[in-house]
Amino acid sequence: DILMTQSPPSLSASIGDRVTITCRAGHSIGKFLNWFQQKPGKAPQLLIYSVSNLADGVPSRFTGSGSGSGADFTLTISSLQPEDFATYYCQQSYSRPWTFGQGTEVEI
C-alpha cells in the first residue's frame, strides 16, 4: 500500500491567513492525488482532484500543486475563511487500495 503522510497534523490560523498543508506519497504517484475537506460529523467532500483541479463549487482560494518528483503535494488556502475550519485529507489513486493521509486539522 502507498503510505500518504501529511504535515502538519494540525495548525492554528486566523481569518485571512494563508495556509499550506503538505502531503507526501511513499513513491511517485504522478497526478493521481485528491484533496478532501471534512467538517465535524459530516462526510468528506472532494475539494481538488488530479493534483490541481477544483471540484465543482469549490472557491478559488483553494489551490493544489505538486512537485516534479510526483510524490510531494501542497494544498493552499490563500485567505482562510470561517467555513474553512475543518480537517483536510489527501488521497492517492495511483494504485489500489486507495489510501489517505492521516489528516490535517485547521483550527482557529
Is 71:88 a contact under the CB 8 Å cutoff? no
Helices (H), 26-90: none
**Binding of residue 64 to another protein (CB under 8 A):** no
The span from the CA of 68 to the CA of 29, in Å, is 11
CA gap 97, 83 in Å, rounded: 31
The least CB distance from residue 38 to another protein, in Å, is: 9
State yes or no: residue 58 binds another protein (CB under 8 A).
no
Of 13 and 58, which CB lies nearer to another protein in the complex structure?
A: 58
Query: Does residue 42 touch another protein according to CB under 8 A?
Result: yes
Compare residues 85 and 100 and give the one whose CB is closer to another protein.
100
